[in-house]
Structure 1
Amino acid sequence: MTEECGMSGHATLWTSADAAAATGGRATAAWSATGVSIDTRTIEPGDLFVALTSARDGHDFVVDALAKGAAAALVSRVPDGLPDDAPLLVVDDVQRGLEALGRAGRARFTGRVVAVTGSVGKTSTKEMLRTLLGALGRVHAAEKSYNNHWGVPLTLARMPADADFAVIEIGMNAPGEIAPLSRLARPHVAVVTIVAPAHLAAFDDLSGIAHEKAAIFDGLEPGGTAVLRGDLEVSDVLRARAQEKAASVVDFGEAEGQAYRMLEARIGDDCTVVTGLAPGDKRLFKVMVPGRHFAVNAMGVLAVADALDLDPALAVTALGQWRAGAGRGAREVIHLDPVATDLSLELIDDAYNSNPASLAASLEVLAAARTRDGLGKKDRGRRIAYLGDMKELGATEGALHAGVADLPAMRDIDVVHCIGPLMRHLWEALPERKRGRCCDSAAEASTGLASELDAGDVVLVKGSQSVGLARVVDAIRKMGHAPAGGDL
């Protein structure tokens, strides 16, 4: 059973006395909270509202939060407009108060904790673990990528004390961010999926990124296990830190010698069938999304399951239930005609994030996709990509974008539309026959799609989140019609 962040049912998560003891704060009244929220748009009755000030000053929304049924608000000052008996927890600093609440949530937790980081695949790996562990017990994990300085303590503060497992995603944008978050989470198993060019603007080179990712091992509990991708250029950096901090070190990947090695990945239209080698036996399983990168990370997930001493047969069965979420490679059929249901195209929504490694993996999925011929205005179905800028790549960003043109998968892709100033480097490096539009923005790219797409096509949309390619995804969806007899 999965325990979503902010979905702890009606059980009391924090009393005013417990929260005051955890934070050193002062409760203005007695209250009990069944959840924790930082956003009045999604707050649920009974939540403790945390008035963070990092983006906007949450104190400005306390009145609204309480009006919507919040049990109390965690504040550093009493906002204007509140009655004298308003339920508050007053602390010196709201961010530090949230961290203290997360620390106390972790201290009382009786289950096993897994922490995940990586340049690519940390969220999908977290979701694989959520699915697998949720089939074997009660699991708590953030429903979004809450992996930063407020997301990790928020996830811990929302954690039911009696869950069997927790999966904590840990990310970073700059040096020094991962270690304190890992020490807060105190995982029993820590995972690094892959180290790839991402956030290079904040690091000198790939080795610097590897050192930061390896810091996830700093928070391991005594007797903890480090699970790491062992066939990377910088795997030695990961392994050295792991050997220093972990009681046991397990590697996974595709190269010979990995303890958990992916031997074969057969990529279909809607799943990937994987043959892997684990200590002592082979593992045959599937994940319900196409992609070699998902298959490799699934081997890391099986390594986690073994480290937690879970039944291997149940683990591979449960893993086969996982599907990619929106914006992360999810595939859907867009019906272009309400009556002729075969007049459709397939959309691969991977618009949440992008860097060179994840883009290469997504293009490989597109290249392997099965198109359908003779359905639309074109004679044959095509593989089409809408690619947005990859951000935070530092001085080499132009070359990294242009280099996408040389990826083997590009041979089987028909048209590439480029969105953003950095993707112009790719557009200029492409052969003319593959060049689609070169647009300055997602808003521009989302117009005129009906003339570019046709029945039988398979369409990938991918870019860094700040480029806003979800707008292109939405525009493609709006081309669709419900099939006859379907729900409208």
Structure 2
Amino acid sequence: MPKWTVEEIAKATSGTVHHAKGQETVGGVSFDTRKIKGGNLFVPLIAERNGHEFIQSAIEKGAVAAFWSEPLEEAPKNIAIIQVKDTLIAFQAFANYYLNKINPKVIGVTGSNGKTTTKDMVAAIVSAKYKTHKTVGNFNNEIGLPLTILEMDEATEAIVLEMGMSGKGEIQELSHIAQPDIAVITMIGESHIEFLGSREAIAEAKLEIIEGMQEGTLVYSGEEPLLKERVEKPETNRFLSKKRTFGRSAESELYPIKVEAKLKETHFTTNRTPELTCILPIPGIYNVQNALAALLVGEELGIEVPEAYEQLSHFELTKNRLEWKPGWNGSTLLNDAYNASPSSMKAVLRYFQDITVPKRKVVVLGDVLELGDQSKDMHRSIREAIDPEKLDQLVLYGEEMTVLYDELKPAMTEKSLRHFKGEKEPLIAFLKDFLQPKDTVLLKSSFSTGLLEVVSKLSQGEKE
């Protein structure tokens, strides 16, 4: 665990020390009093609740220092206080200071889909040569990214930071904190279109990742016109020294020659080394694009292709993304219910419909959120990826799925197509009654739709 003095933290954040000499040692940082450990710095963030209200709890849990932006006379005197103007800005400045102090190679990863998987792949490849730290879970926002930085070991040589957003300017803020040496943009999809209005605006927002760079390398899809036209602009090139592209064809620098989909694996070869086969321990041919992006990062950091392939063959995917789990009554679940966009939902549907399974194929799709005025059209468009002849049961959940249900009714029977809204208990009860041994079930939705609750209930063992 990294350690700092109170005085060091104060200097890094333009703060002033009170109720302490400044030489006290701090180890670890937390903004959540439920997770504070002895010796931590407490960061009282102001959101729905004012974090300053929890200072006594932080002290009881063992915090030895705290940022403070309220009036000093309201601060407790039995803990080192670092007075700052804004606790979130101080938190971010502290992370930037520590990052510059350790000075690892910084790889930033963003994109509408695939950024978590790509982050995991990049970290696996880079760890072949460098002591590597990466974003855990989805800690990819203005709070999660600085926490990830401050949790890295002092011996870290490379850090892989996922950068998420919901609106304009957020990636720019993260890029200025992280100052990436290499930036990856996986793809431009429809995620967050409710807030940004168009795919063009999403492309602009994702490209903000370069704004904290100084002569860095950008890795991006060479077949995405919204990126290609923007990357060539002078205002973009001033941040970059190199651009690397991946894609599906010779239009890009790195592309697949052969792709083979297996039940739980994906095999591919590339134009660079067609004699070598890369085996990904996850399903879905769309993950080849994520792997290509990661391979280009590896090349930038001097990692040879055979070594990179070996790392990818056993990389660990973040939980709840294409996760195979034992299911109810001897079924098998493919859990991908953590995040979704129309494009990612179509991709996983096409994969699932084409694989061979022991018995019946069951698909459970929940609402895709944050699509704004385009929600109906985008949910309706999922129909193009569904082949009723390849599914034994399709279950839709949520209000937004109503339009897809209406689209599918003429092509499917009442028994093979079901739609649930509201409480999840009827959906869970139906699935528990329907599922038989050796059935294979895909579950896909946006996180906020709550389908992970269904996954949890279907993962709880045998039929009673």
After TM superposition, the score normalised by the length of structure 1 is 0.87
Give the drift of 1:293.
1.7
Give the drift of 1:283.
4.7
| Counterpart residue number, 2:446 | 464
1:184 maps onto 2:177 in alignment = yes
Q: How many percent identity over aligned positions?
A: 28
1:477 maps onto 2:449 in alignment = no
| Counterpart residue number, 1:276 | 270
Task: Report the Cα distance in structure 2 between the residues aligned to 1:303 and 1:16, rounded to whole angstroms.
Answer: 40
8 Å contact 1:44–1:68 — kept in the other structure? yes
C-alpha change, 1:473 and 1:238, in structure 2 (3 Å) is farther
Bigger CA drift: 111-120 or 408-417?
408-417
1:152 maps onto 2:130 in alignment = no
8 Å contact 2:31–2:44 — kept in the other structure? yes
1:16 maps onto 2:10 in alignment = no
Give the drift of 1:187.
0.6
Give the drift of 1:248.
0.8
Structure 2 residue runs of 5 or longer lacking an equivalent are: none
8 Å contact 1:59–1:79 — kept in the other structure? no
- Output one character per residue of 1:401-456: Cα deviation in whole Å (capped at 9) or x when no partner: 11111215655223221111101111111123341233234454233321121112
Task: Report the Cα distance in structure 1 between the residues aligned to 2:328 and 2:197, rounded to whole angstroms.
Answer: 47
Mapping of 1:80-479 within 5 angstroms?
A: 84-222=77-215, 224-240=216-232, 243-278=237-272, 283-334=276-327, 336=329, 344-372=330-358, 381-407=359-385, 411-430=389-408, 431-433=411-413, 434-479=416-461
8 Å contact 1:62–1:79 — kept in the other structure? no
Structure with greater proportional helix content: 2
Task: Report the Cα distance in structure 2 between the residues aligned to 1:173 and 1:92, rounded to whole angstroms.
Answer: 26
Report the AA paired with residue 434 of structure 2: E
Give the drift of 1:259.
0.9
Report the AA paired with residue 462 of structure 1: K
- Output one character per residue of 1:101-150: Cα deviation in whole Å (capped at 9) or x when no partner: 12212221222000000000111111112222233321112212122122
Task: Report the Cα distance in structure 1 between the residues aligned to 2:387 and 2:239, rounded to whole angstroms.
Answer: 39
After TM superposition, the score normalised by the length of structure 2 is 0.92
Give the drift of 1:60.
2.2
Q: Secondary structure at the match of 1:286?
A: strand
Task: Report the Cα distance in structure 1 between the residues aligned to 2:39 and 2:71, rounded to whole angstroms.
Answer: 20
8 Å contact 2:128–2:303 — kept in the other structure? no
C-alpha change, 1:308 and 1:150, in structure 2 (3 Å) is same
- Output one character per residue of 1:181-208: Cα deviation in whole Å (capped at 9) or x when no partner: 1122111100000101111112232111
C-alpha change, 1:355 and 1:20, in structure 2 (3 Å) is same
| Counterpart residue number, 2:52 | 59
8 Å contact 1:63–1:82 — kept in the other structure? no
Report the AA paired with residue 260 of structure 1: L
8 Å contact 1:367–1:410 — kept in the other structure? no
Bigger CA drift: 243-252 or 128-137?
128-137
Task: Report the Cα distance in structure 2 between the residues aligned to 1:234 and 1:382, rounded to whole angstroms.
Answer: 40
Q: Secondary structure at the match of 1:182?
A: helix
8 Å contact 2:137–2:319 — kept in the other structure? no
Report the AA paired with residue 108 of structure 1: K
- Output one character per residue of 1:168-224: Cα deviation in whole Å (capped at 9) or x when no partner: 1111111122122112211110000010111111223211111111121222232x1
Structure 1 residue runs of 5 or longer lacking an equivalent are: 1-7, 337-343, 373-380, 483-488
Task: Report the Cα distance in structure 2 between the residues aligned to 1:411 and 1:95, rounded to whole angstroms.
Answer: 53
- Output one character per residue of 1:357-410: Cα deviation in whole Å (capped at 9) or x when no partner: 1111221232134322xxxxxxxx221111111111122210111111121565
Q: Secondary structure at the match of 1:263?
A: strand
Task: Report the Cα distance in structure 1 between the residues aligned to 2:370 and 2:293, rounded to whole angstroms.
Answer: 27
Number of residue equivalences: 455
8 Å contact 2:328–2:460 — kept in the other structure? no
8 Å contact 1:211–1:237 — kept in the other structure? no
* RMSD of aligned Cα (Å): 2.3
Give the drift of 1:471.
0.5
